[in-house]
Amino acid sequence: MKKNKDNKNSSGTIALNKKARHDYHLEDKFEAGIALQGWEIKSLRAGKANITDAYVIIQNAEAYLVGARISPLTQASTHVICEPERSRKLLLNKREIDRLMGARDRQGYSIVATAMYWKKCWVKLEIYLAKGKQEHDKRDTIKDRDWQRQKERVMKNSL
């Protein structure tokens, strides 16, 4: 039995979207599989993915990831025509797609991708129903984070 744990990130995380937590109030979390091609899997194993501007659209009762970039490896994709920013189909249950559509259409939510990671041998995408933050909300978040940091410093120095 051979254990292959020589990846650069042993936690299984491929890509994160840290900007989403800053720009949105994240509410409901979903986990979706992604329909990928062979060259994309090889690129993901090498860590060549970016989901900073990724979001989810729903067309014909199917969910698609748009704006994610998976850069092709030069040695792995010599005979295949690669589209780094193509829209990729997400694998969700009909019930989950209906819930996402309802929240998007009725309540004005956005659907954003926050993380891409390995789960056993499959690539999963963490998506959230999200409401956009106003500028003053972003400032409040930064102020709260700074206050927490100051509190920790004071507590550390007082002990």
Cα–Cα distances in Å, from 43 out to 15, 76, 90?
Answer: 12, 8, 18
Q: Residue 6: what pLDDT?
A: 47
Mean of per-residue pLDDT scores for the chain:
86
Please report the domains of the chain, with CATH numbers, ordered by start residue: 13-133 (2.40.280.10)
Mean pLDDT score, 50-68: 92
Measured CA to CA, the distance from residue 54 to residue 14 in angstroms comes to 14
CA nearest neighbour of 110 among 101, 123, 119: 101
Query: Averaged over 70-96, what is the pLDDT?
Result: 84
User: How far, in Å, CA of 136 to CA of 152, rounded?
Assistant: 24
Region 93-117 average pLDDT: 92
| Contact in structure between 53 and 18 (CB atoms under 8 Å) | no
Task: Determine the average pLDDT of the residues in 4-11.
Answer: 51
On the question of pLDDT at 74 being above 80, the answer is no
Model pLDDT, residue 78: 63
Give yes or no for residue 135 having a pLDDT over 90.
no
The DSSP call for residue 152 is H
Closest CA to 128 of 142, 141, 101, 109: 109
What's the angle, vertex CA 139, arms to CA 134 and CA 142, rounded to 5? 130
pLDDT at 7 > cutoff 50: no
* pLDDT tens digits, 10-24: 568 899 998 888 888
- Give the up-direction half-sphere exposure of residue 58: CA atoms within 13 A in the CB hemisphere: 20
Structure tokens at 104: 């998007």
Percent of the chain with pLDDT over 70: 91
Query: Is-contact 96 111, C-beta < 8 A?
Result: no
